[in-house]
Amino acid sequence: MAPVTKAWALLLALSGASTGLSVAVARGALTGSAITLGGAAILALAWAKARTILNAYLRLDEAPAFRRGFGLTLALYALLLLALYLAG
């Protein structure tokens, strides 16, 4: 299987997981601290999708220095969003 096809299948799985989790949070299936964990999990899934797109489709896996730079920037941004989410 081609790497782009594997990335596409992974993106489908991650999108399905984040959609299912979002629906569960929106419908009130999660309560209390599970809502907070659900929101953090949705953010983590979005981070994984972004890394997959950068590595497979933009081919940053062929440029390790750029991949590290983008990865660090993306991780810091995700941590900032998580901190804002938890503070709210």
Whole-structure pTM value: 0.86
DSSP string for 55-80: IIIS-GGG-HHHHHHHHHHHHHHHHH
Contacts of 71 (CB under 8 A, 6+ apart): 51, 54
**pLDDT (tens digit, 9 = 90+) per residue, 2-43?**
989 999 999 999 999 999 999 998 998 888 889 889 999 999
SS3 28: coil
Question: Cα separation of 88 and 75, whole Å?
Answer: 20
Q: What pLDDT digit, counting tens, does each position of 56-81 carry?
A: 999 998 999 999 999 999 999 999 99
Q: Which two tokens stand for residue 35?
A: 């809502």
